[in-house]
A and B are shown apart, each in its own frame.
Chain A
Amino acid sequence: MTVEEQIREIVARITHVDKGIITRESTFKDIKADSLDIVQALVAVEETFEIEIPDEEAQKFKNFGDFVSYVEDRVAQEGKV
């Protein structure tokens, strides 16, 4: 499973939405994620990929695609795939 697919599954599970509706353009608002959902999603992604996502980086994510790109870069940098 790709990094994007894994993150999509995590976000869908936490926000209780069908993963099919989450596109790279989707914002957290689009999928009705509240602040606790976002915290849970960040924590789950950090644990899954064994990385730490600084809050200043997380605040730059405008949509799901930004989130995925950031994690893909970090995972590649740290040689975790």
Chain B
Amino acid sequence: MGNLAMFTAVKPTLFMLAILCTILSGCAKSNRNMAEVANQLRNNLPVESAITRLEAIKVESQSTAQHQLNLGYLQLVSGDYSKALINFEQAKTTMASLQAISISENLRSATINETGRSYSGWPTDQVLVHGMMAITYLLNNDLNGARVEILQADTQMNKLAEAEIKSSQGQLAFVRYLAGVIYELNEEYDSALISYRMALGILTARNETIPAPLQQSLIDLTSRVGLIAESKDYQKQFSRGLSKHYTNKQFIFAFDGVVTQMQQAKSTLWWDIDDVYLSVALPMFPRNNYIEYPFYIHSSEGEIVSQTIESIEKRAREDLQAKMPAISAMALARAGAKFQTVKELNKKDNVLGAFANVLTIISEVADLRHWSMLPSSIQIATSYDKAATLQFSSRYGQQTLGGSNNDEYQSKPHEDATLESNIAANTTSGDNDEALIGRKLITKSKAAKKIDLKHVNSTVSDSTAKIPRESITYLSDTTKKNAVILLSSLTNKIHIASF
């Protein structure tokens, strides 16, 4: 603080020049554009259009990682796995290279604003990038690649746990659960059990609900590796029994919504004694108004409802809250430095001082960058459907996955006019949702063609406008294989890979 005051006192005009340059460079502009795309995504902007808009944004060098994370995620949910992997990998490398403390960026943060820092990701981003990459590798039928990412996520979570002793920052139950799934698919049951236990530990520490798929995996795997007593304990704790089969398991992951965008809270006050305006801008999240929408899966064994394993809304807020003391301290130091500069210039020339004061107010901008396209919640479900058909329904879009084994899989708009009117009515009458969904599924399932899971690695293309309604997909598994399925509220596409 003393050094800063000295620096600004020595050459206040140069300092003001630097501030002017920063304002002209428009550092926060790309984040504003990305946040705008994220908000449009919430309002039914198609993912493909969002990708095009994101790609068109001119990004400053210090925000490349944020841009790559956003692009990678949208490419994943749109089914462009190879491009998603390239962007995620680049973001990961960039974030890793930025872990060292930057002298120039700190200096700039203490004097001008925080937007000059290179985006190195919040703890959640640093771990979740591995989780998203693991899912992408899985859907790309690369189990080994997914396994590598999960090991890297483990290292990252351990590093964060060591650095943040009193905090659970970056400890993601979703990533631990995903690790369990990957180990299970790789027939490494001991490692899978360890990961599931870790997911349980994280959720228990947070006092959050343990999703049924995790409960079931713990019960089944402890029994499978011979820990019968532990399995019985879990059965008692979760009030459920062993599942009938271990194979032919469909692991379903669902991304719902778009995370709330960070906002700026700016206060400006008039300091009468020295005739100077003081300004402080801090980042904040608005109140969490997100309402979870579950995904419904209808199998031969009944209806399964997806359950939240990770609330990104909560994690993003926790990350910000944990960093707020440092951000606030830096904002105060910056206000002090700017105040000192304006005061010095005021002494020399009142007009120059007033101009400098305006610049210091304009340059006071909060850093609002975060992984802005992330889902609000990550949900999971497990189906053990052995016989025939899986049907999905969710909030957005509608589609039918149909055709013979040799066909190209395409989505089809509803052919049934009565069904369309049922759905339209359904969007306005919340209480009747289940009944209507049930009727519709029965109607459609009669016409559904059987599809072999091994041929369903390609995704279904979008054909309908994304409006709030249910989507349906039919699958049939005749290969007795495990499968990983990804659903997203942003798109009609359903991503499947079998193992």
Determine if chain A interacts with chain B: no
